[in-house]
Each structure stands twice: as C-alpha cells, then as structure tokens.
Amino acid sequence: MAVQQQTQRELLGQPSVHRRADWLGDSIVSGFIATFAMSVAMAGAFALSRTIGAQGGSQIERWFWALTHNPVIQATQNAIILAIGANLLMGLLWAVVYGYDGEARLTGPGWRKGMLYAVGPFLVSIVAFFPIMDGGIFGRHINAGPLPILGNLILHLIYGAILGGVYAIDLEAWLDGSAADRSHAEEQQRGAAVGTVAGITIGLLVGWLLGPSLNDIGGRGLIALIGALTGGALGLAGGSLGGAEWADHRQSTHIPAARELM
C-alpha cells in the first residue's frame, strides 16, 4: 500500500508530505554513495584539466590550467586532511537534511528530486565556499572563466542524482510483507549507516597516518582520501552484514521465548 501511494503521488506530481520512518539510515548510506561518486568525478575532472590545461595556450587551455593552479587548490593542499574530511562530512550532512526534510517537499522520480535539491548545496558552494577558500564569489579569483561554476554545477548534479536515486529505492519493494522481514531489513540499514560513518572515520585516520610511508603511490592527502572512501565502503558492507547477523540472532532468541510462553 505504501509503495502504491508513493507511486500515485509521483504520477500526480505531488510531494510525499511524510518523512520516511527509515530516513536517517537511508540518508547516510545514500549520502556516502553520492559523495563517493562525486569524489570520483572530481578526480576525473582534475586529471582532465591537467591534461588539457596550458599556461601559455589558448583561452580555453588557460582556463583549464587555472582550474589546477589557483588559490582554492593551494588552500586545500595546505590543509588537505581538513578538506577531505569536510567534503565527506558535508556530503553526509546534506544527505541527512535531504532525508529529513528535502525529499518529502519535492516531486518526481528520485534522481530528479536529488538534482533539484543539489542546487542548494551548489549555490552555497559558489557563494560561500569559494570566498572562504580565497576563490572569490562565483570563483572569480580562480581566473578560469565560467568553468568553476559549470564544473561545480555538474559535480553537484551528479551528487544529487545519485543521492536521490539511491534514496528512492523503496525498502517495501524488496520485502515479502512479514514483520520479521521488515525488521531484518531495517537492522541491515541501521548497521550499514553506522558502519559507513565508522569506516570513513577510521579509514581517514589510518590513511593519514600511513601516508608518509606510501609516498611512492601518492601524497598524504590522496592516501587519506583513499583510506576514507575504502573504509566507508568496507563499513557499509560490514555494517550491513553485521546488522543482518544481529537481526538473525534476535529472531532466533525471540522464537524459543515465544514458544515457551505458548
């Protein structure tokens, strides 16, 4: 019934009005996956800019060169661990806000809801984050023409589409309707959310500590980022499995107790 009502609301273009009961766990998991995808896209864009950019080239080539040689890049390199941690934290926080209030206010399929929602973080980024990092409002001090705004918008739309798309996967569609199945799935989600946060934190710290010994692979910041993303992915998987095991344990202890009462 919940799935049918949700589908009817989307077809009619009406907001879902009610926050989902499992919103927090779904928000954290969806936020991590979306932030991971955004980070991969960001790394690809950075590599592309280094390949295309040339300080003495055409206007387009100079713009791409400026994307990798600007005050924002310099500021994040000087405090790379804070930049990585802030990126992951903000990705999760925006996801929690989306699950708490944003998703219920928007209409349409999940990916479209997420992309519309991502316009907010995008505006905050170009109006607040850029000036804080000495890039100027709208990235004017980066001296890369419209590329900082366009690139930032594309990255946030990728984040939003994946956030909304993953969050929209309806738990009810995967269940057989029994209370035990529902409880089992909720424990998996709860475990996945806790595991993701713990994995990111541990992975970030381990990567930062091991960075100097792995400088032949990459800089300390890169190793910390890899550690955080890897830790988050492992925490997501391990937390989900742990939640399932805990649900099985609770069910196995609940059934004998119920039989004794009978």
Q: Residue 242: what pLDDT?
A: 73
Q: How high is the pLDDT of residue 123?
A: 95
Is 111's pLDDT higher than 80?
yes
CA distances from 46 to 50, 155, 258 (A): 6, 12, 59
What does the pLDDT look like over 122-171, one tens digit per residue? 999 999 888 887 788 888 888 888 999 999 999 999 999 999 998 887 65
CB 208 within 8 A of CB 65: no
pLDDT score of 41: 86
What integer pLDDT is reported at residue 241 of this predicted model?
66
Domain ranges of the chain: 19-169, 176-262
Q: What's the confidence (pLDDT) of residue 5?
A: 45
* pLDDT value, residue 115: 95
Q: Which residues, including other chains, have CB under 8 Å from residue 211's CB and lie 6 or more apart? A: 219, 220, 221, 223, 224
pLDDT at 30 over 70: yes
> Which pLDDT belongs to residue 158?
93
**What pLDDT is recorded for position 18?**
66
Q: Is the pLDDT of residue 8 over 50?
A: no
CA neighbor of 20 nearest in space, from 110, 86, 80, 83:
110
User: Which stretch, 19-23, 29-33, 70-74, 219-223, has highest mean pLDDT?
Assistant: 29-33
pLDDT of residue 172 exceeding 70: no
Q: What pLDDT shows up at residue 247? A: 64
- Whats the size of the chain, residue-wise? 262
Q: What is the chain's mean pLDDT, rounded? A: 77
CA 259 to chain centre: 44
**Mean pLDDT on 90-112:** 90
Q: What is the pLDDT of residue 37?
A: 87
Non-local (6+) Cβ contacts of 122 within 8 A are 152, 153, 156, 157
pLDDT reported for residue 3? 43
Mapped onto helix, strand or coil, the DSSP state of residue 207 is helix
pLDDT of residue 191: 76
> Amino acid identity of 17?
V
Q: State the pLDDT at residue 63.
A: 92
pLDDT score for 119: 96
Per-residue pLDDT, averaged over 105-110, amounts to 90
- What pLDDT band is residue 209 in, cutting at 50, 70 and 90? confident
Predicted confidence at residue 224, as pLDDT, reads: 76
**Among 105-109, 120-124, 195-199, which is the least confidently predicted range?**
195-199
The tens digit of pLDDT for each residue in 217-261 reads 566 776 777 777 777 777 776 776 676 666 666 666 654 544 454
